[in-house]
Chains A and B, each alone.
Chain A
């Protein structure tokens, strides 16, 4: 009973991370369209569009933070795994757990920092679009919440053991 509950939660996390990654891919497509559109507007219509520039930068930031959880879930973040790979299975497992613990600690501190920052600076707006910082920082917020959950599931060994050799991309 309990294990099926866990499975369902892990499944939901994988789905949420996958959805974020898909959203990131769409933002990348939008980014390409925006930049090409900016070129066209400038060269064909003599128009400079500061909001296009700003929206493109927002897409760039968002796509990074929205993809990070999926990479963690699959263990694809670039790491130097020489030492762990050289060790026998048991100490190696401990090092892997330590790495997940480090990820968890980083997530916790980052979210705390984001909470402090947005508490003060959440209402400020971006210059061209007047986008509030809450929106601007929403992708990192979502990304790090999912990243925390990803680290937790991997720490307790619930993640599907795929792509262990996928570190090099």
Chain B
């Protein structure tokens, strides 16, 4: 029997955290108990960037991260987090399938560069903007400071939407919003609900400016060290959990939006005058300017996935 360690940064109660436990259970089931995955949630074994590197050097076997985070191991992955990149969740899931032409190629590069393999990826949610006022078009964000993840592709999204991106450590975000250090932030609705951001933000704008996948990765040497049957167990568990987690997130997305409404947030969608086309055009322009040369070919391949 083989024991493998899975470390991640999410709380076990969130879907992103729970899916690691589901995966551990599925691996055990599919391998008939021959393979055990031990899960360590809540950054117990290190923070995000550190976890990605830990998989690369073999400190731990598994972790998960955003595509942007995997980009610190192999740069082209960051392109998968480009704002307004996917047509819909179905498109995202097809691109992120380990057997898709895009993913096959990226995975080869990741293995060569970092000794890391993507074993599956699931839909993690659409990022939406929150603030203490109604925002309907890029101009409304002019001069507003919005908390952004300190990766170039994420700050570009916020900047493209018309705001000034400001880095704030995640543990300080609720306080920073309460006190006005930043005027808003952007995250999937489940995060907004779990961290109770409705206590400090009045408006939720369904900008959906970025669709993210959570990418589950494994140390390549550990993968190659497994027997064929063990590899099969992981592949089967991956296929199962990828669907289950995606469905759970999608189900929660509408439920969570309703819950936020109930908790007093004003939700602004396209039907309330949210000018999605303007946001998309403004963000696309900046993305092309900054990343067009680097990722242009990859963007075409992603578009071609049907």
Q: Which residues of A contact B (CB under 8 A)?
A: 42, 46-50, 53-54, 116-117, 120-121, 123-128
Contact = CB atoms under 8 A, between A and B. Distances in A.
B76 to A, nearest CB: 13
Contact of B56 (A49, A54, A121, A125): A121
Interface of B: 49, 53, 56-58, 71-73, 113-115, 143, 145, 148, 150-152, 155, 164-167
Nearest to A53: B167
Contacts of B166: 42, 48
A131 to B, nearest CB: 11
B297 to A, nearest CB: 21
B80 to A, nearest CB: 15
A117 B55 CA distance: 11
A116 B56 CA distance: 12
Contacts of A120: 56-58, 115
Nearest to B68: A127
A127 B72 contact: yes
Given A46-B164, A48-B145, A50-B155, A124 B73 contact: yes
Contacts of A50: 148, 150-151, 155, 165, 167
Given A48-B155, A48-B167, A120-B115, A53 B57 contact: no
Given A47-B164, A120-B56, 8 more contacts: A42-B166, A49-B167, A50-B167, A53-B150, A53-B167, A54-B150, A127-B71, A127-B72
Nearest to A50: B150
A127 B148 CA distance: 13
A117 B46 CA distance: 15
Nearest to B78: A127
Contact of A124 (B56, B151, B164): B56
A121 B150 contact: no
A9 to B, nearest CB: 35
B115, B145, B167 — which one has the most chain A CB atoms within 10 A of its CB? B167
A130 to B, nearest CB: 9
B72 A48 contact: no
Give the 3 A-B residue pairs with the shortest CB-CB distance, closest first.
A48-B166, A50-B150, A120-B57
Nearest to A119: B57
Contacts of A54: 150
A124 B148 contact: no
Contacts of B71: 127
A49 B159 CA distance: 12
Nearest to A45: B164
Contacts of A53: 150, 167
A128 B150 contact: yes
Contacts of B72: 124-127
A47 B145 CA distance: 8
Contacts of A123: 113
Given A46-B164, A48-B145, A127 B49 contact: yes
A167 to B, nearest CB: 31
14 contacts: A47-B164, A48-B145, A48-B165, A48-B166, A50-B150, A50-B151, A50-B165, A54-B150, A121-B56, A123-B113, A124-B73, A126-B49, A127-B72, A127-B152
Contacts of B167: 48-50, 53
